Structure 1
Amino acid sequence: MLERSGINLLLWPLLALGCGIGVLILGHRPGVDNVTLGLFGAVSLVMLVTEGVLSHSFGKTARFFPIAVFLSAIGLLMTARLVPQMLKMQLCWVILGIVVFSAAVLLKKHVLVLLDYPYSLGILCLVLLILPLIIGTEIGGSRNWIAIGSFTIQPSEFGKIVLILFLAAYLADHRDVLTENLRQFFVFKMPPLRFIAPLLLIWGMAMLLFVVARDLGSALLFFGIAVFMTYMATGSKSYVAVAMLFFSAASSVSYMLFSHVRVRVAIWLHPWQDPSGMAYQIVQSLFAIGTGSIWGVGYAHGNPDIIPAVHTDFVFSAIAEELGFLGMTAVLLGYLYLFYHSIRTALSQTRLVYTLIAAGCGTAFMLQAFIIAAGVTKFLPLTGITLPFISYGGSSMIASYLMLALLTILEKEGNERVG
Structure 2
Amino acid sequence: MTAPAARGRVPRGTGTGTATIMPQGAPNRRNTELVLLVFAVLIPLFAYADTGLAMDGRIPAGTLEYGLGMGLFALLAHLAVRRFAPYADPLMLPIAALLNGLGLVFIWRLDKARQLARNYPAAQNQLIWTGLGIALFIGVMVLLKDHRLLQRYTYIAGLVALVLLAIPAFMPARASDFGAKIWIHVGSFSIQPGEFVKIVLPVFFAGYLMAKRDALALASRRFLGLYLPRGRDLGPIIAVWLLSLLILVFETDLGTSLLFFGVFVIMLYVATERTSWILFGLLMAGLGFWAVATTESHVQSRITDWLHPLTAAPNGGGVGQIGQSLFALGAGGVLGTGLGQGHSWLIGFAAKSDFILGTIGEELGLAGLMALFLLYALLFERGLRTALAARDPFGKLLAVGLSGAFALQVFIVAGGVTGTIPLTGMTLPFMAQGGSSVITNWALIAILLKISDVARRPAPAPETATEPTQVLGPS
Which protein shows a greater Rg? 2
TM-score by shorter chain over 0.5:
yes
- Could you say which residue in structure 2 is the equivalent of 1:109? 145
- Distance 1:169-1:61 versus aligned 2 partners, 3 A rule: closer
1:227 and 2:265 matched = yes
- Could you say which residue in structure 2 is the equivalent of 1:92? 128
- Distance 1:358-1:174 versus aligned 2 partners, 3 A rule: same
1:177 and 2:215 matched = yes
Partners of 2:286 and 2:304 lie apart in 1 by: 17
- Could you say which residue in structure 2 is the equivalent of 1:143? 181
Q: CA RMSD in A?
A: 2.6
> Contact 1:304–1:317 at 8 Å: present in 2 too?
yes
- Could you say which residue in structure 2 is the equivalent of 1:361? 402
- Could you say which residue in structure 1 is the equivalent of 2:241? 203
- Distance 1:284-1:3 versus aligned 2 partners, 3 A rule: same
Partners of 2:317 and 2:148 lie apart in 1 by: 49
Between 296-305 and 266-275, report the one with greater CA deviation: 266-275
TM (norm. structure 1) is 0.91
Partners of 2:431 and 2:396 lie apart in 1 by: 27
Name the structure where helix makes up a greater proportion of residues.
Answer: 1
Partners of 1:163 and 1:232 lie apart in 2 by: 16
Task: Give the C-alpha shift of residue 336 in structure 1.
Answer: 0.5
Indicate the percent of aligned positions where both proteins have the same amino acid. Answer: 35
Deviations 1:44-95 (A, max 9, x none): 2121232244246525862210110111111011111012512111111111
Letter in structure 2 aligned against 1:19: F
Indicate which of 360, 382, 391 corresponds to 2:423: 382
- Could you say which residue in structure 1 is the equivalent of 2:302? 264
Indicate which of 346, 354, 374 corresponds to 1:306: 346
Letter in structure 2 aligned against 1:190: P
- Distance 1:198-1:127 versus aligned 2 partners, 3 A rule: farther
Indicate which of 325, 329, 353 corresponds to 2:366: 325
Indicate which of 448, 461, 465 corresponds to 1:407: 448
Letter in structure 1 aligned against 2:264: A
Q: Which of structure 1's runs of 4+ aligned residues deviate more than 6 A?
A: 185-188
Letter in structure 2 aligned against 1:189: L
- Distance 1:257-1:59 versus aligned 2 partners, 3 A rule: closer
Partners of 2:159 and 2:238 lie apart in 1 by: 14
2:124 is paired with a residue whose SS is helix
Task: Give the C-alpha shift of residue 384 in structure 1.
Answer: 0.9
> Contact 1:292–1:320 at 8 Å: present in 2 too?
yes
Between 101-110 and 183-192, report the one with greater CA deviation: 183-192
> Contact 1:6–1:52 at 8 Å: present in 2 too?
no
1:15-34 counterparts in 2 under 5 A?
Answer: 15-26=42-53, 27-28=55-56
- Could you say which residue in structure 2 is the equivalent of 1:134? 170
1:162 and 2:200 matched = yes
- Distance 1:383-1:97 versus aligned 2 partners, 3 A rule: same
Indicate which of 256, 278, 294 corresponds to 1:218: 256
- Could you say which residue in structure 1 is the equivalent of 2:160? 124
2:200 is paired with a residue whose SS is helix
> Contact 2:229–2:276 at 8 Å: present in 1 too?
yes
- Distance 1:154-1:33 versus aligned 2 partners, 3 A rule: farther
Partners of 1:49 and 1:119 lie apart in 2 by: 33
- Distance 1:110-1:417 versus aligned 2 partners, 3 A rule: closer
Partners of 1:278 and 1:371 lie apart in 2 by: 25
> Contact 1:313–1:387 at 8 Å: present in 2 too?
yes
Indicate which of 345, 355, 373 corresponds to 2:414: 373
Letter in structure 2 aligned against 1:17: P
Partners of 1:283 and 1:236 lie apart in 2 by: 40
- Could you say which residue in structure 2 is the equivalent of 1:45? 72
Q: Which runs of 5 or more residues in structure 1 are unaligned?
A: none
Indicate which of 244, 251, 264 corresponds to 2:289: 251
Indicate which of 163, 173, 189 corresponds to 2:228: 189
Partners of 1:25 and 1:273 lie apart in 2 by: 35
- Distance 1:136-1:369 versus aligned 2 partners, 3 A rule: farther
Number of positions where the alignment pairs a residue of Structure 1 with one of Structure 2: 415
- Could you say which residue in structure 1 is the equivalent of 2:356? 315
2:270 is paired with a residue whose SS is helix
- Could you say which residue in structure 2 is the equivalent of 1:76? 104
> Contact 1:285–1:377 at 8 Å: present in 2 too?
yes
1:189 is paired with a residue whose SS is strand
- Distance 1:59-1:367 versus aligned 2 partners, 3 A rule: closer
> Contact 1:97–1:397 at 8 Å: present in 2 too?
yes
TM (norm. structure 2) is 0.81
